Amino acid sequence: MSWPQVAVAVQRQAARWRRAGVLPGCGVALMGQNSLALLLAYLAALECGARVAPLNSRLTAELLARRLPTLDLAFGYSCENAAWPSGIRPLDVDLSLLSLARVPVDVDAVAPPAVHWDAQRLATLTLTSGSSGLPKAAAHRYAAHLCSAAGVVALLGFRRTDCWLLSLPLYHVSGQGIVWRWLYAGARLAVREGRQLEQALMGCSHASLVPTQLWRLVGGSVAALSLSDVLLGGAMIPAELTTRAEADGIRCWCGYGLTEFASTVCAWRADGSAGVGLPLAGRSLRLVQGEIWLRGASQAVGYWQQGQLLPLDEGDGWFHTRDRGMTRAGQLTIAGRLDNLFSAAAKAYSPRTSSACCPATTASARHSLCRWPTRNMAIGRWRWWTPTFRWRRCVLGSNRNCPLGSALLPGITYRRRYTKAV
């Protein structure tokens, strides 16, 4: 579909929703897997000037019951025709508009927007991962999304003739980041429902992937793909992976981003190091006692809570990420989370680096401390994030709560730590 055809389809769907009562400033929830219908709904809600809240269809009923009332949502669209709670009016999407829009359309036939453009209007509410409890709804303006897109587009050289695969879900900020880069650059977007990754990437020049997905590609045949650039994130990125991908002609970019900053904050061409580069245009970074602080034009204006915007910063103008970082060779290196530390021999260690930091001891003891061998070991229940379910206090080294036995290192004091109840 050409840009005029997309514009006509979006305008017609938005007109239907305006007649249903979707007005500027009201909340519209979206739920479902990536599809043309969901993308049309996302764009139509923005065309109406509404606050769009894409939701994960796998959220539990209990979590939805607790979170939805705080988001002030008046309407909802679900690709799976899921039932919405009382107070949320269901919307529908007319897929025939996509077929009608395929008729050649002259750019002069596209009507002007029915809602006045305002870059400072709230555009989206995106739920965080909930690593510290109930997921928060980061509220972004149009200007924040466009700033985020501009930095990535400039770094990767994403042009109008290029095509980015919508490979990540719209309920995730990285999935929305793909859409906003497409809109900003006026390029092409590929939406391929129900296809394997290799098939979905046919004809695409750019993709946002997690390392596991790229491993599958380099492990197979990539000769038939037109893929030129991959933006990686979501996990530690092995140097071996990027080296193999670069050998196959795929330029790899290591990224670091947050929901609160509309996706990517830092990015860097993979060079075998563990760094993620420097802040992109419009972002600023500061390291304070090992913690990463951020601010910038792509930052959310706050957390939406029952009609109010709760501040993100601590009153100093900076967002305290709780991520640990350091600068190496002129770029930022992520060193884990501040809330994933444990004390040993009067020093603080991260599970991510504990294998290198533990005092010399037997191989079996070090393995027990640094890996996750069984579901009963308290240390084995640690994760890079904090789970959002029941908790119990556990004294590491206790025979009752942490049956590590002789695997505990002698002469080391173990601090109390929280772990998931099993």
pTM for the full model?
A: 0.80
pLDDT digit string, tens, across residues 314-333: 888 899 999 999 988 889 99
Q: Which long-range contacts (CB under 8 A, 24 or more apart) does 378-385 make?
A: 378/402, 378/404, 378/417, 378/419, 379/404, 381/419, 381/420, 381/422, 382/340, 382/351, 382/417, 382/419, 383/340, 384/336, 384/337, 384/340, 384/351, 384/352, 385/129, 385/131, 385/337
Identify the pLDDT of residue 86.
87
Amino acid at 103: V
- In single-letter form, the type of residue at position 149 comes to A
Q: What is the pLDDT of residue 393?
A: 33
Distance CA 324, CA 338 (A): 6
C-alpha closest to that of 206 among 242, 258, 161:
161
The proportion of the chain whose per-residue pLDDT surpasses 90, expressed as a percent, equals: 51
- The mean pLDDT value of the chain amounts to 80
With a pLDDT cut of 70, the percent of the chain lying above it is 76
Strands 51-55 and 319-328: unpaired
Q: Where are the domains of the chain?
A: 145-294+326-337, 341-420
Structure tokens given for 22: 């979707």
What confidence category does residue 236 fall into, taking pLDDT thresholds of 50, 70 and 90?
A: confident
Mean pLDDT over 129-154 rounds to: 90
pLDDT for position 184: 97
CATH of domain 145-294+326-337: 3.40.50.12780
Cβ atoms within 10 Å, residue 243: 14
Segment 196-215 shows an average pLDDT of: 91
- Who has greater pLDDT, 94 or 418? 94
Residue indicated by tokens 């909802």: 76
Residue 19: its H or E element: helix 3-19
Question: What are the pLDDT digits (tens) for 359-405?
Answer: 443 333 333 333 333 333 333 333 333 333 333 333 333 333 333 33
- How high is the pLDDT of residue 407? 38
The end-to-end CA distance of the chain, in Å, is 51
Question: What is the spatial distance between Cα 353 and Cα 347, in angstroms, rounded to a whole number?
Answer: 13
Residue 420 has pLDDT above 80, yes or no: no
Token pair for 151:
């930095």
Residue 22 has pLDDT above 80, yes or no: yes
pLDDT of residue 387: 33
Q: Mind giving me the DSSP string for 38-55?
A: HHHHHHHHHHTT-EEEEE
Q: What is the pLDDT of residue 370?
A: 35
Highest averaged pLDDT of the listed ranges 56-60, 88-92, 393-397: 88-92
8 phi and psi, to 5 degrees? Answer: -65, -45
- Asked whether the predicted pLDDT for residue 214 surpasses 70, the reply is yes
Is 90 exceeded by the pLDDT of residue 280?
yes
**Locus of tokens 């603080």:** 348
pLDDT tier at 193 (50, 70, 90 boundaries)?
confident
- Position 183 pLDDT exceeds 90: yes
Strand blocks (E) in 213-250 = 229-232
Nearest to 258 by CA among 194, 355, 174, 198: 174
- Which pLDDT score, from 0 to 100, does residue 238 have? 85
Residue 132 pLDDT > 50? yes
Does the pLDDT of residue 125 top 90, yes or no? yes
pLDDT value of residue 350: 54
pLDDT band at 104 (very low <50, low <70, confident <90, very high): low
Query: What three-state secondary structure class fits 260?
Result: helix
Structure-block tokens of residue 364? 């079996």
- For position 400, what pLDDT does the model report? 37
308 DSSP β-pair partners: 305
Question: Looking at the DSSP assignment, which residues form a beta bridge with residue 140?
Answer: 124
